[in-house]
Structure 1
């Protein structure tokens, strides 16, 4: 197994889940409800994600939030990886 733990340790993988739920829901309050956490927790994670990726990731609009180009690319890369992790966890449980 060849992983670069330094890269992975710099990033809290729970934020990847928060990001993907935010990307799907396009709304902090709904994302928080989906994850059974408070809205401040999701807002805090979004702030850390924005800092880590040096991008706003989502822009507020009337109906919620619109992802930036970087957020769209990030979602397309993270989603398959998280699906693989989820499948492995389900198989081995």
Structure 2
């Protein structure tokens, strides 16, 4: 099995974690706190995700954020994949 490394060359995989936490928390500030980074770092990550997926991904709603339809589609694909990776990383030996 192989991958096309060109697809990953210009993409920071840590953005996936930021995206999942933004989706779960519905808050830039809570996401920043969980990641032990400042809100500007999370906002910058969201900007990069928006450029990559050509969608706002989240819209402001009061003090929080609400996922767009595209974000809902992405999360449905990402969660099972990330869960598999996480399970593999937890294997011993």
Same-fold call, TM cutoff 0.5: yes
The total of aligned residue pairs comes to: 93
CA positional deviation for 1:63: 4.3
Counterpart of 2:2 in structure 1 is: 2
CA positional deviation for 1:77: 0.6
Any gaps of 5 or more consecutive residues in structure 2?
none
Counterpart of 1:72 in structure 2 is: 72
CA positional deviation for 1:66: 0.7
CA positional deviation for 1:34: 1.2
Task: Spell out structure 1 runs of 4+ moving beyond 4 A.
Answer: none
Any gaps of 5 or more consecutive residues in structure 1?
none
Note the aligned Cα RMSD (angstroms): 1.3
Distance in 2, matches of 1:28 and 1:54, equals 19
Counterpart of 1:40 in structure 2 is: 40
- Give the TM-score of the pair, scaled to structure 1: 0.93
- Give the TM-score of the pair, scaled to structure 2: 0.93
